[in-house]
Amino acid sequence: MRVVIAGASGFLGTNLTERLRGSGHEVIRLVRRPARAQDELTWDPSRRELDPAAFEDADAVINLAGAGIGDKRWDEDYKKVIRRSRVDPTATLAEAIAARGTPTVLLNASAVGYYGDTGEHAVDEDAPRGEGFLQDVARDWEAATEPAAEAGARVVRLRTAPVLAASGGLLKGMLPFFRLGLGGPLASGRQHMAWISLADWLSAVEFLFERPGISGPVNLSSPYPPTNREFTRALGEELGRPAILPAPWFGLRLLLGEFADEVVASQRVLPSVLTRHGFRFAHADLGAALRWALAH
């Protein structure tokens, strides 16, 4: 099948491109610079511009575009970047699908941050949206897919948890501290952490891509979200290092500003849609996931 990917140069996009090509699919990458390879096409979502050839003979679009939420300290300008870098590409693709009537499948990134701080309460895809900046971004991000859905396309909203791999995602920023024995729980450590291994995330996206009966929001997260204290202890054990130095709330707030609220939010998220449709996690166990991640 011919698959168009937006955000193909990022951590997830690079790995997904490799995975889909390994499965025999043709992948076309949308780039914001002049195209330099046969598998690239230029677009400019900030101006709602998309090469008309992008969707020619395409079977599906996978949109992973979006600036990193933790790449910079949040100020009003960067919060606008976070929102626009998600909403503009999504709207550009969804409107193009609606105008052409093809392709008939859109898998669009979203995040488990949609739910906000859930405390001890377990939530699945039926849970309401939380309140806050990232929750509002997730609402607008998902709403931007509506033109495609209204035109009859199958739209899957990939509510992704933090992804575990040594090469990127959640662990990339944590490992330098934990390898030095300087890691530990964040704030109280009692908050739940949603997570998914990179291997399971890739398998889940391919699973959803291949199943025409699934649409709407889907949580891409492990079925067993630990507390932050359990997570950091397990990471320390896999590295053979102590993980007992807590990062106090006031220090996180001083360092991260408003983003600290999201870092310590409790997210006990369950992947009900995936499990109901028979998806099997290779790394449901945190220890096994960390061992795999540290080797990849």
CA–CA dist 12, 28 (Å, integer):
15
Question: Position of tokens 């949580």?
Answer: 219
Cα 190 from chain centre: 23
Which residues contact residue 234 at a Cβ distance below 8 angstroms, ignoring those fewer than 6 apart? Answer: 226, 286, 287, 290
Tens-of-pLDDT digits for all 296 residues of the chain? 999 999 999 999 999 999 999 999 999 999 999 999 999 999 999 999 998 778 989 999 999 999 999 889 999 999 999 999 999 999 999 999 999 998 899 999 999 999 999 999 999 999 999 999 999 999 999 999 999 999 999 999 999 999 999 999 899 989 999 999 999 999 999 999 999 999 999 999 999 999 999 999 999 999 999 999 999 999 999 999 999 999 988 888 888 889 999 999 999 999 999 999 999 999 999 999 999 999 98
CA dihedral 77, 80, 85, 91 (to 10 degrees): -150
CATH superfamily of 2-295: NAD(P)-binding Rossmann-like Domain (3.40.50.720)
Cα dihedral across residues 217, 223, 229, 234: positive or negative: negative
CA–CA dist 134, 69 (Å, integer):
9
* β-pair partners for 4: 28, 61
Q: Where are the domains of the chain?
A: 2-295
